[in-house]
Chains A and B, each alone.
Chain A
Amino acid sequence: MHDVTYLRPTNLKDAVQLYRTTPGCRPLAGGTDLMVMLHAGTVRPEPRAVLDLWSIPELKVVRRSQGMLEIGAAESYTGIIRSRDAQEHVPALVAAARTIGAAQIQNRGTLGGNLANASPAGDTLPVLLAYDAVVVTDRRAIPIDQFFTGYRKTALQADELIVAVRFPLGRQVAFRKVGTRAAQAISKVVMAVSRSPARVAIGSVAEVPLRARGAEVALERGDIAGAIAAVAADIRPIDDVRSTAVYRRAVTQNIFRDLIG
């Protein structure tokens, strides 16, 4: 990894330009995923350059914009947790941020990183789905339900940078994460639910962070029992090192019942 070129633009314009013109370039923010992979030599394709976005002021802003709350892609989870605007308008995101790792990870992890990494277990991703968040890039706005295209795959083009995430104001979203312990745990099931409009978003139960569409249809008509039955059919959990499909299905139904009860 030591022959990887380290690029440290100081503003967004330079970062976008560098990312478009540097072959084999990987964006770096807090490093909680990428630094582990770089050190282990497991980044594919092998990067020739790293574009450090951590210190770019435009990517660290939390502000009201166009009737939405906008959070910069490289703002840390700690910054989100401490933000009065985030606490007021997206409390479920704050709740999710507080469950991620512990202080060391919350001080470095970012929404941009969670999105780009696109793990099905990413703790903020169901929250973004439940809020109908919009991923703002250097060239367009991508609705979150079009962002995840496959296992760890996203709608981003090869030279497209995530700049911010926008959240609508005034939506009530409930959040729950089930892991082995409170801190430093990767989710077995992670869920965010909005009653109106009906949004049922779940992580760690499919190859992507998932909208449970059948459950949403039932919930929209006020059919609680139907929604709880439907959610089990909407998900595609597997057995892996963290849990089993049977457990995940049961837990998904149980926490869904709690969140809409």
Chain B
Amino acid sequence: MRFTINGGAVSLDVVGTRRLLDVLREDLHLTGTKEGCGEGECGACSVLIDGEVVDSCLVAVGQVEGRNVITVEGLAQANGALSRLQQAFIERGAAQCGICTPGMLLAAHVLLQRANRPTADDIREGLAGNLCRCTGYTKIIEAVLSCTT
């Protein structure tokens, strides 16, 4: 099967029912995507498929045939420079243990791509599928808000 990952084409010989999460981590060695609950509750394994945020633990890898997948590794620029959003997470203390961070970044990235500038409430709703047990969310909301202007 073939799909695009972070802008590059990949061709894999894998069983279609394997979780996208496992193929990303084990076959493609993209370990930025984390497994939290494995049940679609926590959002730690969030990735983008054709620009929409999904839990990669709930996606059968066969379902991304021909599609465009972005993981947290795809947010930085090609030279390794962090995106504005990633930099804001660092500067505003929006990451502590780091397990939720890749998923938070991707869900927030989708919000920031939208035409309308997200408000704090929009951000809370947009990140509601990403659980964080460290920060209390305030720093995360602030970091995303700082990228809306």
Contact = CB atoms under 8 A, between A and B. Distances in A.
B129 A103 contact: yes
Interface stretch (A50-58, A119-127, A128-136, A200-208): A50-58
A29 to B, nearest CB: 10
B38 A6 contact: no
- Counting chain A residues whose Cβ lies within 8 A of the other chain, the interface size class is 20 to 34
Interface in A145-182: 182
Nearest to B103: A104
B53 interface: yes
Interface string A79-113: 00000000000000000000001111101100000
Contacts of A8: 16, 62, 65
Contacts of A182: 128
A2 interface: yes
Contacts of B129: 101-105, 183-184
Given A104-B43, A105-B55, A107-B53, A31 B63 contact: yes
B28 to A, nearest CB: 17
B110 A6 contact: no
Contacts of A184: 41, 128-129, 131
B53 A36 contact: no
A81 B86 CA distance: 30
Contacts of B55: 104-105, 108
Contacts of A102: 43, 125, 127-130
A78 interface: yes
Interface string A41-59: 0000000001010110000
Interface of B: 15-19, 38-41, 43, 46, 52-55, 57-60, 62-63, 65, 107, 110, 125-131
Interface of A: 1-2, 4, 6, 8, 28, 30-32, 35-36, 38-39, 50, 52, 54-55, 78, 101-105, 107-108, 182-184
